Structure 1
Amino acid sequence: MTETAKPWTQPMPEAQFARMREILAAPSPVGLEGAMTYGVLKPYLESFAPQGWHIHQFLGHAGIVLDTHPGQDEMFTAMVVGHADKIRLQVRSIGEDGKVWVDSDSFLPGTLIGHEVVLFSEDPESPGQYRRLEGGTVEALGAIHFAEEAVRRGDKGVKKEQLYLELQIHGEEKKKQVEALGIRPGDPILLDRPIRRGFSPDTFYGAYLDNGLGCFVTAEAARLVAEAGGPRNIRLLFAMASYEEIGRFGSRVFAGELEPDALIAVDVNQDYAAAPGVSDKRFQPLAMGEGFTFSCGAIASEQLNAVIQRVAGEQGIPFQRDVAGRDTGTDGMAGVLASVDCAAASIGMPIRNMHTISEAGHTGDVLAATHAVAATLQDLDGRDDGTGRLREALRDGHPRLDQAEGLSHQCSR
């Protein structure tokens, strides 16, 4: 493959960008992920899956798993996981003046002010059916004229308890007007901002890159593997999980049910190099546009990381080394949380402004992650002959620091 032919060095094709936009736009708040998994991802996976591949569905949540060898539990099994759930606001209560008070979930309150949202109201007459309400904005202070002086100066911020949805309700009995719409506590609210291409080359921005991007990469890696003929010796599971934002519950169900031998989580990561006010914290300077990331530490398997690094290096796919500490913060923890013995890895794509309406990413990083995942899976497939050889290699191949070679100063002259 020539340098100019490498997809991660080129602009993402418009058809592929449109597919990414469709996945990220699907309204899939925590607990209601079916719009992304069933509405967008399942039909796409079915469009290229060879005969014999199977999509698993589940009772307790709307996660899905594309399985290349259903029922063949004796095969070495590798799972790739993105998560479809989005953080959301929720209706908390309705005020007498028509204000719809909301919980901010995992958003910074100040990042929400003035943004348009969509409220999904469950029909009280038909539980389980939802209506879509547009035209509202998130507010907290109303106008600068009503804010205390410390807030005007910027010395004091907005508290989450101040957030409300402005529906422009007026007239008599404002609370009853809202209640007549069927709006009730618990109804989810999503930011209304689809992604679009950014100002700088190969960039894009919008809401909910976290973590429709992981699902997009997982689906695109599945397509690449299918187009290459599919795995011959190992079983692959391409998973779109739920509940990650509240504790990685969906992915641990996947791991518990399907018991993979290896698990690769795909999620967004931070662009620490551009993050405001963090330079003195000495984070690893991960940067948007410099390739995908892989985590070291926590439960990350050094053996699986070695494969990812080697394969990426052989194909010229740019990557960055991240530090996980005691928790990857991603679905990479699914196996150990489900008490399943598997080699785990966590890869990501650096983005800016995470958990805001203006998250920003680089298509080159997304394509680098996609091709790195596909190449890693194909490499694992090539290392197994169907006899358990790869499982044995992982069991016996753990690095031994007592066998580490001595290292002396490398003269720069």
Structure 2
Amino acid sequence: MTETNQPWNTPMPDDQFELMRDILAAPSPIGIEAAMTYGVLKPYLERVSPKDWHIHQFKGHAGIVLDSHPGRDDMFKVMIIGHADKIRMQVRSIGDDGKIWINSDSFLPTTLIGHEVKLFSEDPENPGSYRVIEGGTVEALGAIHFADANVRSGDKGIKKEQLYLELQIHGENKKQQVENLGVRPGDSILLNRPIRKGFSPNTFYGAYLDNGLGCFTTAEVARLMAEDGGTEKIRVLYAMATYEEIGRFGSRVLAGELKPDALIGVDVNHDYKAAPGIGDRRMNPQEMGKGFTMSVGAIASEQLNRFFETTAREREIPFQRDVVGPDTGTDGMAGVLASVDCAATSIGFPIRNMHTISESGNTQDVLAAIHAIKGTLQKLDALKDPHREFMDNHPRLDTASPLGHQGSEKPEGDDKDA
């Protein structure tokens, strides 16, 4: 394969970037994810998939699964999972001065100050109907002049209990002004920052890359597989899960319901090389712009990883090994958490500033992940018997061959330290 027809080495097409932005921009806080799954992803998947593919829907949450061979439980089932839920802030209480006190959820409080948000309020008079308020910002101190010396010097930070939503309420009966809007404790608040193309080539930034990117990747794999005629021996389940940010509850339900034989979680990862202040932790130096990441450790299947690595090497797709220890931290754990026997791994893309309004990523890493997953599915589909392949070929370290010293010369063209 030449470099000219390797999508991961070229800029992402504008229409594909627009789809990615639409998916990431959909307001889908945890528990109310249908804006992304039903509003953007379901219509797109219906448009790009063959008529005999089927979309599964669920009662307890807004997750969806596109099924390439509905009803074929005899086939080897591969589930690919992105999650549509976004971490959200919530209204905690309303003060007499009109301040809307909020919960920060999984955000670092100091990263929220001054940023614009949208407040989604259910109409008290019409349950199930939602309104949106724009123009508010998250605040904590109001001004540096009101902070104590330790906060002003940076020795102390902002506590989550200090956060409030500023709606510029003034005049008489400030609390009543807010209550007249129908704002109530529990209402959802989301950061208002759709992604934009970044300054550096092939980069982008904005809120909630975690994990609309996984859903975008899964949807694009579905489109490309459909364009190539789908699969013959494996049944592919393209899943858009929920509740990942609070314990991966949605994906384990999907795994429990559909019982995949192999499971691929797709989620953002960290750019450890650019992360400030962690040099002494000796993290694996994975970084943005160097390809997709593949989890190694925890429940990650060495067999499934072998197919990914072989695919990447054959197609010259750049990839990085991600050392995950006892837990992938992603929906790659869904199978084992749901007590389903399946080979699993987690595929990702390094980003910076995770869980902030300025998460940053690289389009070529995302494209690398898309085409690595597609190639791996095709490789699995080419197996004589995928079921027996995974049951009979677990790696055995007792058959490892001896390895001696290999010298100090670097491979030709390798300028990295050994």
TM-score interval, smaller chain = over 0.9
Q: Does 1:227 align with 2:223?
A: no
Q: Distance in 2 between matches of 1:51 and 1:28?
A: 27
Cα shift readout 1:325-365 (whole Å, capped 9, x = no counterpart): 10000000000000000000101000000000000000000
Aligned residue type for 2:377: L
Partner of 1:179 in structure 2? 179
Partner of 2:406 in structure 1? 410
Q: Distance in 1 between matches of 2:116 and 2:15?
A: 27
Cα shift readout 1:82-128 (whole Å, capped 9, x = no counterpart): 00000010000000100000000000000000000000001101111
SS at 2:408 equivalent: coil
| Aligned 1:257-406 pairs, distance under 5 A | 257-384=257-384, 389-406=385-402
The alpha-carbon deviation at position 195 of structure 1 amounts to: 0.2
Partner of 2:247 in structure 1? 247
Q: Does 1:43 align with 2:55?
A: no
SS at 1:284 equivalent: coil
The alpha-carbon deviation at position 391 of structure 1 amounts to: 1.0
- Unaligned runs of at least 5 residues, structure 2: 410-418
| Aligned 1:111-260 pairs, distance under 5 A | 111-260=111-260
SS at 1:365 equivalent: helix
The alignment's TM-score, normalised by the length of structure 2, stands at: 0.97
Q: Distance in 2 between matches of 1:371 and 1:163?
A: 42
Q: Distance in 1 between matches of 2:334 and 2:78?
A: 13
Cα shift readout 1:192-240 (whole Å, capped 9, x = no counterpart): 0000000000000000000000000000001110000011111000000
Aligned residue type for 1:257: E
Q: Distance in 1 between matches of 2:212 and 2:220?
A: 12
Aligned residue type for 1:311: T
Cα shift readout 1:124-171 (whole Å, capped 9, x = no counterpart): 011111100001000000011111011111111000000000000011
Aligned residue type for 1:266: V
Q: Distance in 1 between matches of 2:380 and 2:51?
A: 22
Aligned residue type for 1:392: R
Q: Does 1:97 align with 2:97?
A: yes
Q: Distance in 2 between matches of 1:201 and 1:63?
A: 34
Q: Distance in 1 between matches of 2:352 and 2:16?
A: 22
Partner of 1:78 in structure 2? 78
Aligned residue type for 2:399: Q
Partner of 2:17 in structure 1? 17
The alpha-carbon deviation at position 396 of structure 1 amounts to: 1.1
Aligned residue type for 2:303: Q
Cα shift readout 1:37-73 (whole Å, capped 9, x = no counterpart): 0000000001111121000000000000000010111
Aligned residue type for 2:401: E
Q: Distance in 2 between matches of 1:401 and 1:94?
A: 61
**Identity rate, percent:** 73
The alpha-carbon deviation at position 173 of structure 1 amounts to: 1.0
SS at 1:303 equivalent: helix
Q: Distance in 2 between matches of 1:6 and 1:399?
A: 31
The alignment's TM-score, normalised by the length of structure 1, stands at: 0.98
Q: Distance in 2 between matches of 1:230 and 1:214?
A: 20
- Unaligned runs of at least 5 residues, structure 1: none
Aligned residue type for 2:349: M
Q: List 4+ stretches of structure 1 deviating above 4 A.
A: none
SS at 2:28 equivalent: coil
Cα shift readout 1:2-36 (whole Å, capped 9, x = no counterpart): 21221010010000000000000000000010000
SS at 1:32 equivalent: coil
Cα shift readout 1:278-302 (whole Å, capped 9, x = no counterpart): 1110000110000000000110000
Aligned residue type for 1:195: I
Q: Distance in 1 between matches of 2:266 and 2:408?
A: 38
Aligned residue type for 2:367: L
Q: Distance in 2 between matches of 1:411 and 1:231?
A: 45
SS at 1:320 equivalent: strand
Q: Distance in 2 between matches of 1:119 and 1:373?
A: 36
Number of equivalenced pairs:
409
Aligned residue type for 2:48: F
Q: Distance in 2 between matches of 1:129 and 1:51?
A: 33
The alpha-carbon deviation at position 180 of structure 1 amounts to: 0.7
Partner of 2:414 in structure 1? none
Q: Distance in 2 between matches of 1:60 and 1:125?
A: 24
Aligned residue type for 1:405: S
